[in-house]
Amino acid sequence: MRRALLVLSVLVALTTSAAAQQPAIVRHVLPNGLVVLVREDPAVGVVAASLLVRSGSAFETADTAGVTNFLQRAMLRGTKHHSTLALAEAAEELGGAVDASGDVDYAEVRATALARHWDALLALLAEVALEPTLPAGEIEKERALILGQLQTRADQPFPRAFDIALADLYGGHPYAWPALGRPESVARLTRAALLERYAAVYRADRMVLAVAGGVPRQRVIAVAERLFKRVPGTADAATGPATEAAPRGERRLVEREARQAQVLVGFLAPPLTHPDYPAMRVLGAVLGGGMSSRLFVELRDRRGLAYSTGVLTTNRTGPSLFLPYLGTAPANADAAVAGVLAEVDRLRRDRVDER
């Protein structure tokens, strides 16, 4: 018994020691309002940096849908000092890569490298973020790629069904379209529209720079201040959506040639900051989080109504998404819908066992 207690105390001590050694995240605000977060970990031989911008499809309209993602990708098409190819080669020489994308609630420029090249990495990231040239010819190349990706989504059963579900759930809210945008809006976006979006959102008070890895914390902050001090401060444009999400509350049937029927049942859910958000994520795991989930056990194993099943949940600053889905034989679609609704009703009706 004494030996067991001794082992237990050692384990507790080791756990406590490990927790105490976790590198702290230091927060520093530059004079222009840009927030810098640094996590220094000398044991790590790499560095990762991410510049997050409060932008994204949540700040778009039906006419500008996709402008954030389009802009971010076009920013990689050349800067004042590097072409597209030269940018990629410069990042590779540092042992890493640089990329950019637009999401729903944010846009991002991100980069990785060997830790010893952290300062060159930050300089390259700042160059992409602050000195893009958006060449007209490169914009057209990027437009063609995005339109091709949108066509691929439209041709694939699940992405197509998912996009329809988003539109029906969110109505006129910007969450109604994917971050890629809509074909008609992407086709119309001009270089001037991209420049206008850039000027509106690339403001210091909308930006957070996060750096983690084997880096010297105080030197990172000093270099960040030097690189980003020229970023303008207050932003007056690009406010959030004025339209509330408005689910249509209807059943939509889309017919096309396919071996499987895609069944999606969508619900609006609490935003990321709501107290009920963690509970919603737990319910998603109970309902569709793996082979022991209720949808898998009941509809796939016991009743044979699904080839695949699960629950998609999103983390949004606005209304999130709770979406049970399954793939089934077309002849079983009605029974599958009824089965999903029955399991959702069971969640409402019965307390979930904590075990």
CATH 3.30.830.10 residue window(s) in the chain: 24-228, 261-349
Which pLDDT belongs to residue 248? 62
- Please give the Cα distance from 321 to 319 (Å, whole number): 7
- Residue entry with tokens 């009706």: 349
Q: Which top CATH class is 261-349?
A: alpha beta
Q: Which top CATH class is 24-228?
A: alpha beta
Residue 83: partners with Cβ closer than 8 Å, 6 or more residues away: none
Tokens coding 229: 């001090």
Tell me the whole-structure pTM to 2 decimals.
0.87
Which pLDDT belongs to residue 2? 42
- Let me know: does 212 contact 46? Beta carbons within 8 Å: no
Residue 235: partners with Cβ closer than 8 Å, 6 or more residues away: 200, 201, 203, 205, 206
∠ CA 72-75-81, nearest 5°, is: 160
Which residues are bridge partners to 25 per DSSP?
A: 39
Q: Which of 324, 310, 319, 315 is nearest to 278 (CA)?
A: 315
pLDDT digits over 48-101, tens only? Answer: 999 999 999 999 999 999 999 999 999 999 999 999 999 999 999 999 999 999
Q: Which residues of the chain have pLDDT under 70?
A: 1-22, 235-249, 355
Q: What are the Cα distances from residue 215, in Å, to 28, 35, 51, 117, 212?
A: 15, 18, 17, 9, 7
Tokens coding 121: 């990495």
